[in-house]
Amino acid sequence: MTRNAYYVTTAIAYPNGEPHIGHAYEMIATDAMARWKRLEGRDVYFLTGTDEHGIKMVQTAEREGVPVRDLADRNSARFKQLAGALNLSNDDFIRTTEARHYAASQAIWNAMVAAGDIYEGKYEGWYSVRDEAYFDASELTDGEGGRKFAPSGAPVEWVEEPSYFFRLSAFADRLLKHYEENPDFIGPNERRNEIIAFVKRGLDDVSISRTTFDWGIPVPDVPGHVMYVWVDALTNYMTGVGYPDVDGQMFQRYWPADLHVIGKDITRFHTIYWPAFLMSAGLALPRKIFAHGFITVDGKKMSKSLGNVIEPFALVEEFGADPVRYFFLREVSFGNDGDYSREKFVNRNNADLANDLGNLAQRSLSMINKNCEAKVPEVGAYSDADRALLDLAATATARAVKAMDEQLVHEAVAAIWEVVGEANRYFAGQEPWALKKTDPVRMGTVLYVTAEVIRRVTIPALAFIPESAGRILDTLSVPADKRLLAFANDGSALVPGTDLPAPQPVFQRFERTKAE
Ligand code: ME8
């Protein structure tokens, strides 16, 4: 029997600044997947949160002249607020500064010690604070004044410290075997190929403790050492389901995770370090890690100096959560980089939401309200066009299910909106307003088919634009317990004679230039 539980996570963001549009994007996409699995009837657990330790947090706090805990509290609250603003359906929000997470991180550390995979040594090397990684001298480039830079362009400094190491080098073969036997473990394929090539070159052991600062989780029984932030960060996924209580209900039910959604820059940590830590600790590996691309603004990398940073709160405030969600889900091929521009945003919103879905729902439902006593119309005989449209909706949902299983969110949205487009052509072609006098029975059938197709597309749309889709289903009097994909078919079609409330417009048009 395939299990019904489904555990999905986002990466946990660093709260060393305000959330940006890249963070919002990852939240939106992961939420769409979580909601989709719920629509499929799965028992979903969805975790997001903040990654609050590490040198970056310490340095930002120093620059701002605030205690690091205050910085973490302030910005973590903003991420939590963003989850609310974007209408995320997360079941928990984890902070790595919580006591439960200390317990989990120390437990996995102890398990790796017991397995003989942690040893004491000394670390010296070129370290980039921004990348949080040491680099080989051969990877560095020389800059002005003898300074050296990592491949990312971040400056590096020579660091020497006593450190504990994780025996990652011993895991290369086991990891390669795992990738081989589980071809879906890393997605998309491009990332999988990169990782396999990287691991095949051999792995170095990793330094996993720090002594130069104390903002971290203490290494058990070793005063003066805190864990390297990635050891504790990755462990959050297990803390969220009750680790170290491996016999507990939550861990039994949800671990291993079905899907970690992350950005492409942190693929190595998730597909090399994380499975190796888990293998060492004797724990099951997540089923899949999927890396999405990066969001640029007007074709450029977002940066404070370019002044093109798009503030997710400002977007939601101006446009509302659903148009923002829709834009990113539909416009960006999940797994590839994507671009935000106001023009593209407004075009998408106006075409797909305000015109195609919004106008169709408003026009057809207003006609029903006026001409069919505000009840689901009676149906005459179906024409070929009626059947073709209803069938198209069924196949589109099936295509969307398949696409969502492969994290091709944009394809799932496109499949559903293809039906919306077809329904518009159908409505315009059938001209129900002209049938009013000539053939009222046929008019009722056309309005019925239109309303029924709106129901069929709006159920899957609940994953993408939950609030608006919910309001459309309200105006179709679809009961709450019938809002699952299993009901988006013939057997649960609208019942003629059902009372319908007066329709209210659900979407808005926006202007390409912002009013000052
Ligand atoms: O990496 N477009 O935190 P983070 C799309 N704490 N996604 C982006 C992005 C952009 N422009 N910029 C960042 C961390 N992201 C760690 C994660 S997980 C155990 C620890 C994504 O705040 C990024 O790829 O730098 C990552 O998945 C997430 O936002 C958090 O990034």
Is 330 among the domain residues? no
295-297 vs 338-340, strand pairing mode: parallel
Task: Give the number of the atom of ligand 1 that is nearest the alpha carbon of residue 262.
Answer: 27
Same domain for 468 and 450?
A: yes
| Residue 346 falls inside a structural domain | no
My answer on whether 437 and 417 are in the same domain is yes
Looking at the structure, do residues 482 and 377 belong to the same domain, yes or no? yes
Question: In this prediction, what percent of the chain has a pLDDT beyond 90?
Answer: 89
Shared-domain flag, residues 364 and 494: yes
Q: What is the pLDDT of residues 41-76, one digit of tens each?
A: 999 999 999 999 998 899 899 999 999 999 999 999
- Pair (145, 106) in one structural domain: no
Same domain? For 112 and 132 the reply is no
Domain of residue 153: give its range: 121-163
Q: Which residues line ligand 1 (CB under 6 A)?
A: 11-14, 22-23, 25-26, 51, 233-234, 236, 262-263, 265-266, 294-295
Beta strands at 43-50 and 92-95: parallel, antiparallel or unpaired: parallel
* Ligand 1 mutation target, pool 21, 26, 79, 300, most atoms within 8 A of CB: 26
Q: Indicate if the alpha-carbon torsion angle 475, 420, 482, 488 is positive or negative.
A: positive
Which two three-digit tokens encode residue 360?
């169709």
Tokens of 97: 């500064």
Rg, the chain, Cα only:
26
* Domains held by the chain: number: 3
Q: Are 258 and 228 in contact (CB under 8 A)?
A: no
Q: What is the pLDDT of residue 516?
A: 58
> pLDDT digit string (tens) for 132-186?
777 888 889 998 888 999 988 999 999 888 999 999 999 999 999 999 999 999 9
pLDDT (tens digit per residue) in 453-477: 999 999 999 999 999 999 999 999 9
DSSP 254-295: HPSPSEEEEEGGGHHIIIIIHHHHHHHHT-PPPS-EEEE--E
Q: Has residue 341 been placed in a domain? A: no
Render pLDDT for 381-398 as a digit per residue (tens, 0 to 9): 999 999 999 999 999 999
Q: Which amino acid is residue 14, in one-letter code?
A: Y
Pair (177, 266) in one structural domain: yes
ipTM summary value: 0.99
Expressed in angstroms and rounded, the spacing between residue 424 Cα and the centre of ligand 1 is: 39
Between CA 245 and CA 383 the distance in angstroms is: 60
| Pair 208, 227: CB distance under 8 Å | yes
What is the CATH classification number for the domain harbouring 466? 1.10.730.10
Q: Are residues 134 and 25 in the same domain?
A: no
Residue 332, SS3 per DSSP:
coil
Tell whether pTM > 0.90: yes
Q: Give 515's pLDDT tier (boundaries 50, 70, 90).
A: low
Q: Is the pLDDT of residue 258 over 60?
A: yes
**What pLDDT does 22 receive?**
96
Residue 1: pLDDT over 60: no
Which of 265, 263, 266, 246 is CA-nearest to residue 255?
Answer: 246
Whole-number average pLDDT of the chain = 96
Average pLDDT, integer, range 319-330: 98
Which pLDDT value is given to residue 491?
81
pLDDT digit string (tens) for 176-201?
999 999 999 999 999 999 999 999 99
Q: Cα 321–463–271 angle (5° rounding)? A: 100
Is the distance from CB of 109 to CB of 219 less than 8 angstroms?
yes
Secondary structure of residue 13 in the 3-state scheme: strand
Residues 185 and 155 in one domain: no
* 300 assigned ligand-binding residue: yes
Q: How far apart are CA 471 and CA 506, in angstroms?
A: 7
What CATH number did the domain enclosing 255 receive?
3.40.50.620
Do 409 and 274 belong together in one domain?
Answer: no
Residue 307 has pLDDT above 70, yes or no: yes
Whether the Cβ atoms of residue 219 and residue 120 lie closer than 8 Å to each other: no
Dig out the tokens for 127 from the structure: 């370290």
Which of 165-169, 349-353, 487-491 is least confident? 487-491
pLDDT at 474: 98
The residue whose CA is least distant from atom 10 of ligand 1 is 22
Tell me if residue 227 falls in helix, strand or coil. Answer: strand
Burial (CB count within 10 angstroms: exposed 0-12, middle 13-18, buried 19+), residue 97 = buried
DSSP codes, 420-489: HHHHHHHHHHH-HHHHHHH-HHHHHHHHHHHHHHHHHHHHHHTTTSHHHHHHHHHHTT--GGG-SGGGSS
Q: How far is the CA of 11 from the centre of ligand 1 (A)?
A: 7
